[in-house]
A and B are shown apart, each in its own frame.
Chain A
């Protein structure tokens, strides 16, 4: 579990990226962190991993203060940054020297993922293409079986077939419900705050994502031009399920439209039978 309490952080005191930020991420979920360029997504991940120290507040991973980078915390956390470093070793050599640091490492699973990604086992990592290196480190990260796996833009630099392979592996390892939505909970960082931390199920219970004719646009909380009419977000008054359009939701939140977040933050009462 990751618990961030009243976290303030910035690379200088004058311009803070986060102020009094609170966020709790629980085990067993796949969170998607969205934010505009420069909103501080990677910096937030660095705070979680302990690569930077909070100016105020705390960030704890499985109960350990992350900035202390204690082995007990690091052994149960794996971080795959956007830009990775791979030594001049083969997969076998890398596993022999790095896997012993991770108590739950599954060697068979690692070679299975490598084969699924079509990464050659006997090739030297540093001589592979960046995409191949990325797939190898994703395979290693998944095989560590740590309770927290943090990936920063994991599919950047992967080609289209590799992105499909990535989804397939995540689905097989994390019991994700369908190919399109690997993420089950959405976290949006905007204007130095976490403006949304909701599961996709909870979002679709309260909002409907649909295409409506131009004439009905006034009913929408938020709408964007589409090829046929408007892509819109409406309150889900009938309790019907609709697939969450993450891009539309993100645009609505970051455009300054507060109605969406107000509806999502309203207390939710379940109807008794």
Chain B
């Protein structure tokens, strides 16, 4: 039997994980459904007209990312608890199989459960809203803005970073990972700005990574950048970053010491 990956052992591990966690996962799903119903319901009730598809897509983005990041940050949180970590690490399955079970739950399974749940709440809210006519538009995630492939790419990156955080930190995984993420963004932004300032030989008003450099001269705002048409490149970079972070999360679990 392979020491890296064995399908029947993986199936056993998946079953064990499911049996031990399904109650918590179902409760989390119920909380998510309740939160979506309350927040979107309140927003719809307060609005002068029924929720348009554009607003629905904003909520879709907000809940997909928010709930996904919170859930992903809990997937390997057991490694922060010494007793649970010992049970997890000494179970006779490879570290790759253990990692893949967590990844499956936090990425494809999460998406497969989240999307129908979101539609369910939207349909319930629209069906109980007396202002909604038969022609009212419902979000189509395949055609709405931002495009689904961009959403999924961002979700992949956030999921990967949260998996790293859940394997790395011992407590308060979500808060600490989010904090580390903000620090990283701040550092990257400032570093990028410093490098660009040195390259252009002048002070810049702002200069975000993969964006334009802005500066003021004679009360006029100038924009210097070759970013147009770079979208596929930036997207590719995000995919690569997500892949690297997934690999990092795997090695964090593989090398975990208790």
Point out residues on A near B: beta carbons under 8 Å.
Answer: 46, 49-53, 69-72, 74-75, 77-79, 81, 83-85, 87-89, 93, 96-98, 100-102
Contacts and interface: CB of A to CB of B under 8 A. Distances in A.
Contact of B83 (A69, A72, A81): A81
A89 B23 CA distance: 11
Interface string B66-96: 0000000000000001111011011111110
Given A85-B84, A97-B16, A97-B19, A102 B92 contact: yes
B12 A69 contact: no
A81 B89 CA distance: 12
Contacts of A75: 92
Nearest to A77: B90
B81 A85 contact: yes
Contact of A74 (B12, B16, B19, B90): B90
A185 to B, nearest CB: 24
Given A46-B258, A87-B20, A101 B93 contact: yes
Contacts of B12: 97, 100-101
Interface in B74-127: 81-84, 86-87, 89-95
Interface in B169-226: none
A98 B92 CA distance: 9
Contacts of B91: 74, 98, 101
A70 B95 CA distance: 8
A81 B86 contact: yes
A78 to B, nearest CB: 8
A157 B212 CA distance: 65
Contacts of B92: 71, 74-75, 101-102
Chain B interface residue count: which class?
Answer: 20 to 34
Which of B3, B19, B92 gathers most chain A CB within 10 Å? Answer: B92
A98 B16 contact: yes
B125 to A, nearest CB: 34
A49 B90 contact: yes
Interface string B1-34: 1010010010010011001100100000000000
Nearest to B97: A71
B143 interface: no
24 contacts: A50-B89, A51-B86, A51-B90, A51-B258, A52-B258, A69-B95, A70-B94, A71-B1, A71-B3, A71-B94, A74-B90, A74-B92, A77-B90, A79-B86, A79-B90, A81-B83, A81-B86, A84-B83, A85-B83, A88-B23, A96-B19, A98-B16, A100-B12, A101-B12
Given A51-B89, A98-B16, 14 more contacts: A50-B89, A51-B86, A51-B90, A52-B257, A52-B258, A71-B1, A71-B3, A74-B91, A79-B90, A81-B86, A83-B82, A96-B19, A97-B15, A97-B19
Which of B15, B19, B255 gathers most chain A CB within 10 Å? Answer: B19
A273 B210 CA distance: 89
A21 to B, nearest CB: 18
A72 B23 contact: no
A85 B91 CA distance: 13
Contacts of B84: 85
Nearest to B18: A97
A235 B81 CA distance: 49
Contacts of B255: 53
Contacts of A71: 1, 3, 6, 9, 92-94
B3 A83 contact: no
A46 to B, nearest CB: 7
Given A46-B258, A85-B87, A97-B16, A72 B9 contact: no
A74 B15 CA distance: 19
A93 B19 contact: yes
Contacts of A51: 86, 89-90, 257-258
Which of A88, A89, A97, A102 gathers most chain B CB within 10 Å? Answer: A97
A53 B257 contact: yes
